Amino acid sequence: MFFAAQIVFWVALAALIYVYAGYPLLLIAISLLFRKRRPELVSSHTPSISMLIAAYNEEAGILEKMEQTVALDYPADKLEIIVLSDGSTDQTDTIVESFRDKRVRLLRVEDRKGKTNAQNVGVKEANSDILVFSDATTVYHSLALKRLARNYADPRVGAVSGRYQYFDASGDSPTGLGTMAFWNYENLIKTAQSRIRTITGCCGCIYSVRRDLYTPLPLDVISDLVQPLHVLKQGYRVAFEDQALAYEETTKSSSDEFSMRVRVVTRGIRGLLSVSELLRPWNFPWIAFQLWSHKVLRWLVPFFLMMVFGSNLALLESLPYRYFLFAQAGFYFLALLSLLIPFHRRWKVFGIPLYFCLLNTAALVSVIEVLRGKKYTIWQTVRT
């Protein structure tokens, strides 16, 4: 019994170490063997762009979004802006229609069916060579479009992702620091992936694709993961442009973050299952390696955590294992305490255990939701 518990403990712990440290370090080591791509050498490459802004009941911020978008540093005659109103019931449509810039137009999508459906519909109305997908709440760096576009000078590039930069404006978000730390970590991984060859998923509020490579998607999948995978299936690479910045505010509460993560991961799992052939290493070795390491094993982390904790309980007669169990229990207790008491307002670091546990609890719930046949197609706007 003791020996079996040891095997379970060390196998699960090794999986956790690989997911969070081994895989990123392996990527970084491999990337050092490759010459860094320099898209800035073709910064004058400015293909026509259609920016598709998904919006549902965004009357509070849609005007600011449009003003910020038309002010971006990109040739005016090569930019069209389409606001995809997914059955909005507030003043979003009226505000967009009254905006005085001929580059901006409203496309109302009736019978609210979610962001992916709105994008499928919007692409049919777009007239440009490159499609850029944005959220109504996202603020772009002034040079973001130019920095995305320059990558398309390489005909082998089929899609380009920008980079998230999260911020906690009020300083009150319990998961704010955790969100920012996590996405900095994710950006490091994407940088290494792109330097070696290709990334396998984009940042949802700032990513782009060649219009002639766009694939209409099922409504219950997350587009910023699945659309790039379809680009890869067509033989193109997906680049990560870390200088194309998009600024997004963190969620205001743990419950908002948890709900969002459950929806995102559930849609992500369903999306990956829709292109499951990419998980076959004998057909797509590099892509499958990334998807198994960065997606599948990441979604299985809550199960590894339970295996480590459960097997650790059977190993208490050994002092080192006892200390490890105390460390685990202390970490989880700290996360629970942070959920109940707002320590993060004074000590930001308390938000990291909470975010880690929230992220993996959401992954656990998402796996269960997929097994139950649950689908998420629409999103509920959260505004204060």
The DSSP-derived string for 270-291 is HHHHHTGGGG-TTTSHHHHHHH
CA distance 330 to 1: 26
pLDDT tens column, 222-275: 999 999 999 999 999 999 999 999 999 888 788 889 999 999 999 999 999 999
As given in the structure block, the two tokens for residue 16 are 């956790």
- CB neighbour list of residue 2: distance below 8 Å, 6 or more residues apart: 314, 315, 317
At 309 the three-state DSSP class reads: helix
CA distance 123 to 125: 5
CA distance 27 to 14: 17
List, in sequence order, the alpha helices (H) in 150-250: 176-196, 223-233
At 80 the three-state DSSP class reads: strand
CATH 3.30.530.20 fits domain 1-384: no
Of 22, 2, 19, give the one whose Cα is nearest residue 305: 19
Mark the ranges of the chain whose per-residue pLDDT is less than 70.
Answer: 37-43, 170, 343-345, 380-384
pLDDT the model gives residue 44:
80
**What residue ranges do the domains of the chain occupy?**
1-384
pLDDT the model gives residue 384:
43
CA distance 51 to 82: 6
As given in the structure block, the two tokens for residue 78 are 């090569």
Of 130, 182, 183, give the one whose Cα is nearest residue 158: 130
Contact 142, 68 (CB under 8 A): no
Specify burial of residue 371 (Cβ count, 10 A radius: 0-12, 13-18, 19+): exposed
Q: What is the pTM of this model?
A: 0.92
